Amino acid sequence: MTATVGQGTFRDNRAATVVADVMQRIRDVILEHKLTYEEYSAAKQFVIDLGVAGEWPLFADVFFEQTVEQVDSESREGSPGAIEGPYFIEGAPRLELPYVMPMRDDEPGDVLYFSGRVTSPNGEPIANAQVELWHSDNLGTYSNIPYNDDRELPPAFNLRGRFSTDEEGRYEVRTIIPVPYEIPTSGPTGALLTTVGWHAFRPAHLHIITSAPGHTPLTSQLYFDEDPYIDSDVAGAVKPGLILKLDKHDSPEELQSKNLDTPYF
Ligand code: MBD
Ligand code: FE
């Protein structure tokens, strides 16, 4: 089979097929909506601005990664995955027991004890699996990420950490509960959302990657029920199996003593 694009016919390969299809679908949109020169120029300027602002990773992950993950998840077993997003950074600190995420002395936000268990798809616990966790702070800022506005950045690797599971595949870590995340409104991605009238929020989320030798790593996210954006994530990445129900307590002491009773913490 060959794919036909503008100037001619390309060799039969996957790239040619996909690229030809993308080009043709964009042409179809121009024809269907009878785009004007003015609109074409605005679109061209938009993609230029994306590059200048360094927002291509943000734009791509907000609008397209979920669909790639959906395809990828069709050939995977086990817990649901979710998009990695643009803000994962290699080299987060390895934590020592008891696990506490790197944070400032006065880190704002409610205390969260997050626990779980890493198993293989058939339910066997995986001891010594690696858990990589990262999330935004209470103002919706990720450490190590430059923003196009004048917000103050948290210290390097704030709220980013790596730790291991115990003999039963379990882990527990203390951190703070993130808040819904607003895509920076100061850049072109935010401007696009404003132009089309879509809100720029993702529900509050924890990013997680679990990995262990001999197993396919799992990249996922956890969300919280009662979140106002749980049904309208701008990145479309919420899945029912990833929504946590908080076990709420009034004081950290209460929370801590409850957890100290468990065999692990
Ligand atoms: C995020 O924090 C995120 O997880 C995604 C997918 C896109 C933008 C910001
Ligand atoms: Fe995120």
Reference 253, options 135, 113, 158; nearest CA is 113
Residue 41, in any domain of the structure: yes
Residue 57, in any domain of the structure: yes
Query: Among 50, 56, 61, which is best to mutate for testing ligand 1, by the most ligand atoms less than 8 A from CB?
Result: 61
Contact between 182 and 203 under an 8 Å Cβ cutoff? The reply is no
Look at residue 264 in the predicted model and tell me its pLDDT. Answer: 38
Q: Write out pLDDT tens, residues 29-38.
A: 999 999 999 9
Look at residue 251 in the predicted model and tell me its pLDDT. Answer: 75
Residue 232, in any domain of the structure: yes
Q: Strands, E, within the chain: which ranges?
A: 3-5, 8-10, 99-100, 111-117, 130-134, 160-164, 170-176, 181-182, 201-202, 205-211, 218-224, 243-244
The domain that contains 141 carries what CATH number? 2.60.130.10
Look at residue 10 in the predicted model and tell me its pLDDT. Answer: 53
Residue 25, in any domain of the structure: no
Using the mean position of ligand 2's atoms as its centre, give its distance from the Cα of residue 205 in Å: 6
Query: Among 87, 135, 144, 147, which is best to mutate for testing ligand 1, by the most ligand atoms less than 8 A from CB?
Result: 87
Look at residue 98 in the predicted model and tell me its pLDDT. Answer: 94
Look at residue 250 in the predicted model and tell me its pLDDT. Answer: 82
Distance, CA of 30 to CA of 200 (rounded, Å): 26
Look at residue 148 in the predicted model and tell me its pLDDT. Answer: 83
Residue 107, in any domain of the structure: yes
Residue 26, in any domain of the structure: no
Phi, psi dihedral angles at 176 (to 5 degrees): -120, 155
- The SS3 of residue 3 is strand
> What's the structural domain count of the chain?
1
Residue 158, in any domain of the structure: yes
Residue 14, in any domain of the structure: no
- Give the tokens for residue 35: 């785009």
Q: Which residues make Cβ contacts (< 8 Å) with residue 236, sequence separation at least 6? A: 66
Expressed as residue numbers, the domain containing 212 is 36-260
pTM of the predicted structure, to 2 decimals: 0.91
pLDDT along the chain (265 residues), means of 10: 54 89 98 98 98 97 98 96 98 97 96 95 96 96 91 96 97 96 94 97 98 97 97 98 92 61 40
Q: Write out pLDDT tens, residues 171-194.
A: 999 999 999 999 998 999 999 999
Look at residue 257 in the predicted model and tell me its pLDDT. Answer: 56
Task: Report the DSSP pairing between strands 170-176 and 99-100.
Answer: parallel
Look at residue 4 in the predicted model and tell me its pLDDT. Answer: 57
Using the mean position of ligand 2's atoms as its centre, give its distance from the Cα of residue 235 in Å: 10
Report ipTM (2 d.p.): 0.96
